[in-house]
Every structure is written in C-alpha cells, then in structure tokens.
Structure 1
Amino acid sequence: MAQKTGLGRRYIRAFVSGFFVAVPVTVTVLDRLAYVARVDGASMQPSLNPEGASAPDVVLLNRWSVRNYQVQRGDIVSVVSPKNPKQKIIKRVIALEGDFIKTLGYKNRYVRVPDGHLWIEGDHHGHSFDSNTFGPVSLGLLHGRASHIIWPPNRWQKIKPSVPPDRRPLLSWGGSTEDEDDDDDDDE
C-alpha cells in the first residue's frame, strides 16, 4: 500500500513539474511565434469565410514574420483595432508607407500613407470596417500575418499575398507587389 502511494506522488510531482515547464513554453510560442485565430464576419469574403458564418475559417497567424514590421502589399494581417483596442481585426495590406492610394469613402479621396503606417482593407468592400473608415493604421498595431488556413480541412492552404488590380497603389515608394516583373534588366 505504501508503494502505491509513493508511485502516485511521483506521477503527481512529474505532472506538476511538467506543467510548470509546458505553460511558459506554450505562452512564449503563442506570444512570439504563432497562434491560431477564428475569422468572424464577411469582411474578408471570398478570401476567408467564403461560406459565411456556417463554416468560419481558422487561420494560423505568424507573429515571428512581423516582428520587424516586414509586411508586403497583399498580406492578410491581424492588427489591433484602432477604434477598439480590445479587438483584433484581420484585413489585407493594400498600401505601405509612402504609397499613394485612392480611397473608397475615406474623408480624403487620395491619401499618402504616412511613414510607420499601413493601409488595410477587407476584401468585401462595403462590409468591412477598415482604413476607409479609420485611415492609415500604425505599424505598432500589427499583430501577425495570416500564413495558412487550417480549418475547415477542405480549405487547408497557404495564403498567398495578392492585391486586387483595382486596389493597387497609384504610386509606390518601396516594397514590392506580386506582379512586378524581373525583366527590367533586359534594356542593358
């Protein structure tokens, strides 16, 4: 009987010590590397949640890739909402700092994105609370970049950056878009 009690204590001690190692490691991974988030609403349709509320997408948000604010046009990112700091929103990066953008209903028809800011929009125009409502978003609010759709299983895929042709910046001062050609050196 005494042997069973000692065995039970060893299991409990191993569990508790494993717990105190696992919790800080898990918190560090979620804080620094990546975590998952459910995408609610219609603002990113058809890219995310194409079937609406009946089958919301779950995405992997890569925190490591945005640690130095390295994002490109077309990335789907998670940012802390400029209007409600307790909420995170998921939108597409349309323009980077220095770019000139034609807005869709913002107070100014044309905007130069200030240094240290992004212009973000939902893919479903008119159903999105985005930069057209609150203006350029500070890079400091950037939380993660959506890299994969991981749920539902039939939609599992890597998310590739893309900007709709009608939403590309009018003038770009850096960064790259996915459709730029590398053939510019043929004129030499």
Structure 2
Amino acid sequence: MSKLGSRVFKALLWIPVVIYINDNIFSMTFIQGRSMQPALNPDTNKLKSDLVLLDKTVTGSGSKFFLKIGDVVTLYDPFRPDTILVKRIIGLPGSLITPTNNSQFPSKSPIVIPAGHCWIEGDEGFHSVDSNSFGYVPLGLIHGRVSFVLYPFSRFGFVDPKENRDLVFIF
C-alpha cells in the first residue's frame, strides 16, 4: 500500500470515533434567536450567532442526568420535534414553580414539577416560547448542556449559570 493510501486508511479509521464523540460527548452548534439574551447572542444583529460547545454527557437513555437549576440546555421542542430550543433550567423534579405574569396558564398558583420533568425559560421573556407557554417538559427531550462559548472570541469562556444550586441527580 502506498504512503498516501496508508494515510487515507488511517484517517478513515477515525471517522467512527469522531461520529461517536459528536453524538454522545461533545458537539458544536450556532445559537440563533434572542430568547437567551444577554447570556447568549447579546448582540441584536441577527447576522451574528454564538458558537457554543454542547456537553452531551448530561443526557442519555439509561444514564443519570447531571443537571442543576440555572444550566442552559438545548432540547427538542415538545410540539415541533424537528426544532431545537435553547433555554435555562428553572426547576427540576420536586421544584415549586410559579408561572410568570406573561404565562399562558390561567392560574398563577405554584406548580410542583413531577418526576422526570423540568421547567425551562428563556432569559429574555418577551422573545421566548418556553414552559410558560407549554408547561413542564420531559427530561428526555434535553439534547445537551451549553457549557462554553467558542465564538465570538470576545466572549470566549464558560456559560455562567444564573443560579448556583446543589447538583441534582435524577435516576
């Protein structure tokens, strides 16, 4: 086998590893929209989007979820599964949540989040379709945790959770 053929073969051997890492450990994605301003996409210019690193080790069937209140997560829209939302976790199982004033819920009484679900909201309430619109969502819809802003370089760094609370383990 030629030197070039050997290099191509070795490169092809890495493809399954790269696919596995992208699907199950880490991936990068651009964040679009204004619902998470100012934490993500603080510039109102719609041509600029934050490039972020997603930590996918927090999800998975048969595994424990390692999420905490304040984490920014990506999740599948409960009513449009082909759409991915970016929101902040406000409540986990057992949390007592009071819907906001702009909520679709007729009653503003506190809601207890049931097992296997969470309450999510965008940081910019006027531009966010979130749990105030559709209620608590199954944890199984969570796709990954937004852990790091890669671009723009002026904001390079970890995504800061709004609330620092104890780590919650969900079985």
Counterpart of 2:169 in structure 1 is: none
Q: 1:90 aligns with which of 81, 86, 91?
A: 86
Residues 44-83 of structure 1: pairs in structure 2 closer than 5 A: 44-52=36-44, 53-67=46-60, 68-83=64-79
4+ residue stretches of structure 1 with deviation over 6 A? none
Q: 1:106 aligns with which of 104, 107, 116?
A: 104
Question: Relative contact order (alpha carbons < 8 A, sep ≥ 6): 1 or 2 greater?
Answer: 2
The alignment's TM-score, normalised by the length of structure 2, stands at 0.85
**Unpaired runs of at least 5, structure 1:** 1-8, 164-175, 179-188
Question: What is the rounded CA distance, in whole Å, between the counterparts of 1:130 and 1:18 in structure 2?
Answer: 46
Question: What is the rounded CA distance, in whole Å, between the counterparts of 2:13 and 2:88 in structure 1?
Answer: 37
Counterpart of 2:32 in structure 1 is: 40
Deviations 1:82-141 (A, max 9, x none): 111111111000011111111121324232111100100000002101111111110111
**Unpaired runs of at least 5, structure 2:** 167-171
| CA positional deviation for 1:12 | 4.4
Counterpart contact for 1:69–1:142, Cα < 8 Å = no
Q: Identity over the aligned pairs, expressed in percent?
A: 34
Higher strand share: 2
RMSD after superposition: 1.7
Which stretch has the larger CA shift, 151-160 or 50-59? Answer: 50-59
Larger radius of gyration: 1
Question: What is the rounded CA distance, in whole Å, between the counterparts of 2:83 and 2:12 in structure 1?
Answer: 29
Counterpart of 1:151 in structure 2 is: 151
| CA positional deviation for 1:18 | 2.4
Per the alignment, in what secondary structure is the counterpart of residue 93 of structure 2? coil
The alignment's TM-score, normalised by the length of structure 1, stands at 0.78
97 and 106 in structure 1: CA distance in 2 versus 1, 3 angstrom threshold: farther
